[in-house]
């Protein structure tokens, strides 16, 4: 199954240590990779259908981005295809714009029911996968529920309500990372995330991953949904977790 990585920092940060380790530990996923980040409030994504890690080394493009990307938020994804073809277009992360803001999204899990969803507001027209439809559904729900651009608690509530409704309407397995460049959301309803703050061996910021046992020998905190909940949602700004809740 695909693996996810996120970095959240108070200032622009690079991940030359943790990203290559992430690629190596997620190397069993052979169907593409991508790295998303922000620069001057604009979202950028570079991705490939090639393997992120092969024969003991990172893909050259992945390694280069690990060195040069500098952003408050970085999202990376290493893909094992479960929906859609294997090509660069279907590699994650994806980018869409909503209300003048760029959003970056990456997902793992299986949710075939949502492939029938059609958004009238935001579209990834060239992508035919459950992940693309999930991203569109989330942004539609946020747009319907949320107005104030500076209210993180209100945005958290909109993301939580939309995620709950998503699972009610389109049951499936969803782990995702979502950011608009000033807050990072991480949601899980089927697989744990591991979290580390102020690493002594990696970058000294907030790191998240789905890779089992984390990216270092340090004490990573695990979080996953509680029984009978729809999932677990957290929001971070800088290296701080501002909000978290079972929904």
What does the DSSP assignment read for 170-236? Answer: S-S--EEEEE-SS-EEEEESSS-EEEEES-SSS-SSEEEE-STT-SSSS-PEEE-PPTTSS-EEEEE
Percent of the chain with pLDDT strictly greater than 90: 79
Give 131-163 pLDDT, tens digit per residue. Answer: 999 999 999 999 999 876 568 999 999 999 999
Q: Mean per-residue pLDDT for 221-242?
A: 93
Q: Domain range for residue 223?
A: 3-246
User: Is the pLDDT confidence value at 1 over 80?
Assistant: no
Give 8-23 pLDDT, tens digit per residue. Answer: 999 999 999 999 999 9
- The number of folded domains in the chain is 1
CATH code of residue 147: 3.60.20.10
Strands 33-39, 42-48: pairing kind: antiparallel
């Amino acid at each position: 199954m695909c693996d996810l990585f996120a970095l959240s920092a108070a200032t622009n940060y690079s991940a030359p240590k943790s990203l290559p380790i992430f690629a190596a530990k997620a190397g069993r996923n052979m169907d593409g990779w991508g790295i998303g980040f922000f620069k001057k409030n604009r979202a950028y994504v570079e991705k490939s259908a090639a393997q992120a890690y092969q024969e003991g080394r990172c893909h050259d493009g992945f390694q280069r981005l690990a060195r040069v990307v500098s952003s408050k938020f970085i999202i990376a994804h290493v893909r094992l295809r479960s929906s859609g073809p294997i090509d660069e277009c279907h590699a994650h992360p994806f980018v869409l714009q909503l209300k003048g803001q760029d959003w970056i999204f990456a997902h793992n899990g299986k949710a075939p029911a949502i492939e029938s969803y059609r958004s009238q507001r935001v579209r990834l027209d060239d992508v035919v996968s459950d992940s693309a439809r999930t991203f569109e559904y989330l942004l539609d729900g946020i747009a319907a529920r949320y107005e104030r651009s500076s209210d993180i608690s209100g945005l958290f509530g909109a993301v939580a309500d939309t995620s709950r409704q998503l699972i009610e309407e389109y049951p499936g397995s969803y782990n995702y990372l979502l950011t608009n460049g000033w807050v990072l959301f991480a949601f899980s309803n089927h697989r744990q995330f591991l979290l580390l703050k102020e690493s002594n061996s990696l970058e000294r910021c907030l790191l998240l991953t789905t890779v089992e046992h984390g990216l270092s020998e340090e004490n990573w905190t695990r979080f996953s949904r509680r029984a009978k909940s729809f999932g677990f949602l957290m929001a971070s700004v800088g290296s701080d977790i501002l909000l978290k809740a079972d929904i």
